[in-house]
Amino acid sequence: MSKIIFLRKAARAGLLGIVAAGLTACSVTDEILDVSNPEELDEGLLDDAALVKVLVSGVVGDFQSMYSDPFVWRGSMFTDMQITGINWEQTARLSQRIVQYDEGDADGMFSDLSQARAQADSIAGRMKGGLSASPASDAELAMVLAYAGYSYIVLADAMCEATINVGSTIHQPVELYGMAVERFTEALSIANAAGANTTLSNKRKVSDLIAMINVGLSRAHLNAGNNAAAMSAAMNVPDGFYWWVEYNDSDNRTYNVLEARVSGANHSLGVHPNFVAGGPSNWLVQDLEPFLTDPRVQHLPRWRTGHNALSPLYTPMQGLMHSGYNGERFSDGGNPQGFTRGDDIAIASYIEAMQNYYEAAGPNGNGPLGSTLEFVNARRAFGNQAPVTLSGADLMTELRWQRGKDLFLGGYRLGDLRRWLRQGMDLFPSGQHPTAQWGLYGDATCYPLPIEEYEGNPNISR
């Protein structure tokens, strides 16, 4: 009998690293791989240095797989960014801020995010353990560690708490952000040693990877309450920078799920009243073209119902965090770009870095783009809004609104709302749900550990 892996199939599906990780940790995988075909590749060859790029691709692929769904799509369901017009009862409850640990959405969120995290940690460990000839300066290892850092960030953003590798410790979000910082810090050291002009396997330069790492550091530090460190990292991100989670419009395994949620029979994604053009007072108004002046948050001027034939849905267009954003506005007769299957989503950008910087700096801060007030007014000007003369808490409230518009539907809002909640500001939607038949909002702010983890992890109990 020979343990084997079908490498080409696994690589195409982005699963090779997960298979590799499981070989040493999962007896179930051993049973699956126990087949009588000695002509295929033995598992020992998974430590062949020639396979490094395939393993790195597996890390990137698993992150890509979970990012548009569940993280962006389901992660924003009980924020004030989207209305979810889905006809499946348990998923509809997410839009009502009702999240149950014994239903599939909690399990799907935890499982998919944990898979990306475990993939990145496992492959990083293999590369440091001998798979890389020069781990201290291996640019591919730096990229794997960077994706590990982002995997910890999204896990902390979405989950109320989390276990790691079937461990006995239940980690709180701030602890997970600290683990992200550890991986980003190691990644930055390795990337600097590799050299900024080195070309990565994805054809980008290490200089771009360094910027991506610094955005991640600023975000993780901001969420952990380390404001000075968040500002320091954000200062190192160049103007105009983006790092994309890439999708493919010709492959059903690697397309952006948001496209399906705004089109056809599955149409089920609409803009929340807080982000509807002209504000909540315009909710349920048709013909909103005159109000659609902010290019960052464009939506169809008329609402309609979709999948559940119940919820009013103003269909969103692409924002700054989406690769098809074109800056056009309905208010002046433009044609903002809708979502397509191949749209990429930014996990790191200069815009986010500056938002992180000025939130950490506070209302009296100064930085690369002037004072906090000047930065807020620059973002307002970008959105065709008049300047303000705010200060103190009022200025920070406006900064938070500008952050929401800059990062619209990019996967940031749940983590932002939870950070502000830790600071004593509950900005989650409450009161009457915009779908009137659903009554009042619940009080969920995160995804609980699912029942599957309690039943499958012998080291924890309810």
| pLDDT tens per residue, range 15-26 | 444 444 433 333
Contact 29, 122 (CB under 8 A): no
Per-residue pLDDT at 294 exceeds 60: yes
Cβ neighbours for 333, distance < 8 A, ≥ 6 positions apart: none
The distance in angstroms from the start CA to the end CA of the chain is: 40
> Which tokens in the block code for residue 180?
């992200």
Per-residue pLDDT at 135 exceeds 70: yes
> Which tokens in the block code for residue 447?
């995804």
Mean per-residue pLDDT over the chain, rounded? 90
Contact 71, 347 (CB under 8 A): no
pLDDT at 39: 44
Q: What is the mean pLDDT of residues 429-450?
A: 96
pLDDT at 193: 98
Note the Cα 81 to chain centre separation in Å. Answer: 14
Q: Which of 251, 121, 143 is nearest to 202 (CA)?
A: 143
Q: Which of 424, 438, 404 is nearest to 80 (CA)?
A: 404
Residue 355, domain CATH? 1.25.40.390
Burial label, 6 (beta-carbon count in 10 A; 0-12, 13-18, 19+): middle
pLDDT at 18: 43
For residue 22, is it within any domain? no
Least confident of 252-266, 318-332, 383-397: 252-266
For residue 193, is it within any domain? yes
Per DSSP, 81 falls in state S
pLDDT at 19: 43
Q: Which of 345, 348, 299, 297 is nearest to 323 (CA)?
A: 345
Domain total in the chain: 1
Per-residue pLDDT at 243 exceeds 50: yes
For residue 417, is it within any domain? yes
Cβ neighbours for 450, distance < 8 A, ≥ 6 positions apart: 101, 102, 106, 107, 110, 111
Contact 138, 209 (CB under 8 A): no
pLDDT at 22: 39
Per-residue pLDDT at 29 exceeds 90: no
Rounded to whole angstroms, how far apart are CA atoms 127 and 150?
19
pLDDT at 253: 76
Per-residue pLDDT at 453 exceeds 50: yes
Identity at 157, one-letter amino acid code: D
Per-residue pLDDT at 319 exceeds 60: yes
Least confident of 34-48, 157-171, 196-210, 280-294: 34-48
Rounded to two decimals, the pTM is 0.90
Per the rule left: phi > 0, alpha: psi between -120 and 50, beta: everything else, 14 is: left
pLDDT at 311: 97
How open is the CA angle 339-112-176, to the nearest 5 degrees? 105
In a 13 Å sphere around the CA of 409, the CA atoms on its Cβ side amount to 34
Per-residue pLDDT at 4 exceeds 50: no
Predicted confidence (pLDDT) per residue in 114-129, tens digit:
999 999 999 999 999 9
Q: What is the mean pLDDT of residues 240-249?
A: 96
Rounded to whole angstroms, how far apart are CA atoms 271 and 255?
22
Per-residue pLDDT at 34 exceeds 70: no
For residue 144, is it within any domain? yes
Contact 113, 153 (CB under 8 A): no
Per-residue pLDDT at 7 exceeds 50: no
Contact 229, 221 (CB under 8 A): yes
pLDDT at 47: 64
pLDDT at 49: 66
Domain, as residue range, for 260: 52-107+136-438
- Exposure string (b/e) for 338-373, b if CB count within 10 Å is 16 or more? bbbbbbbbbbbbbbbbbbbbbbbbebebebeeebbb
For residue 200, is it within any domain? yes
Predicted confidence (pLDDT) per residue in 42-99, tens digit:
555 556 666 888 999 999 999 999 999 999 999 999 999 999 999 999 889 999 999 9
Identity at 232, one-letter amino acid code: S
pLDDT at 30: 38
For residue 40, is it within any domain? no
pLDDT at 222: 98
For residue 120, is it within any domain? no
Contact 346, 242 (CB under 8 A): yes
Rounded to whole angstroms, how far apart are CA atoms 290 and 282?
12
Q: What is the mean pLDDT of residues 107-114?
A: 96
pLDDT at 43: 55
For residue 116, is it within any domain? no
Q: Which of 408, 376, 453 is nearest to 299 (CA)?
A: 408
Cβ neighbours for 298, distance < 8 A, ≥ 6 positions apart: 292, 316, 317, 319, 328, 329, 330, 336
Per-residue pLDDT at 14 exceeds 60: no
Q: Who wins on pLDDT, 277 or 104?
A: 277
Predicted confidence (pLDDT) per residue in 380-397, tens digit:
999 999 999 999 999 999
